[in-house]
Amino acid sequence: MDVNELAWAREALLRMQSAADMVGYEKSWKDFLHYLDRAWNKLEKRLHADGGAQRHLSEVNRWRKEDDLLRYLVQARNTDEHSIQEIVVNRSGGLTITGGPGGGRIHKGIFNGPGQVDNLVYDGDLEIKFHPDRLEVISVTSRGVTYSPPENHMGSPVKSRLPHELAQMALEYYEAKVQEISQGLSGHVAR
């Protein structure tokens, strides 16, 4: 079953992943939210009269209200569409240094902006991570209700606040559901 908007959502995700700047990334994120929501709305209208598909539609609509990730994406799109509120925030890049058991000590080294380390001398158990500038999702308010960034998706923890990673998880869910519905309508799903 073709759902053009779902393919367009995937294209928006690919644009996010290859964006040269934050403006292009943010636009692609908003495009993704729009096309994902539009894909589901059109599919729902197309299949509304089909009794066999009704079970799948009801299940997805329930998850769009109950699942942290799916609910957040719907509400982020609504917030972007119907308000002037921001749905992402720009986080500056940085460096984190964490010590394992027993910690560690840095004797010398140079850390520079693009994530390069020169002449690093340390002892102990250290983990050094560079974090580039990035956009992260933030709490959004739609119709007076505030929706925090998702903490779970289909029972699994969501540890990311990066739009393209959230988009990937959601797209996989919707593509699987469209495939399931298509197979059910053609009689290939064992029930």
- The structure tokens 């999702």 sit at 137
pLDDT the model gives residue 149: 98
Give residue-wise pLDDT tens across range 32-89: 999 999 998 888 887 776 666 777 778 888 889 999 999 999 999 999 999 999 999 9
pLDDT the model gives residue 13: 98
CA distances from 176 to 68, 95, 182 (A): 18, 37, 10
pTM: 0.81
* Statement: residue 114 has pLDDT above 80: no
**SS3 letters for 59-112?**
HHHHHHHHCHHHHHHHHHHHHHHHCCCCCEEEECCEEEEEEEEEEEEEEEEEEE
Q: What is the mean pLDDT of residues 134-150?
A: 96
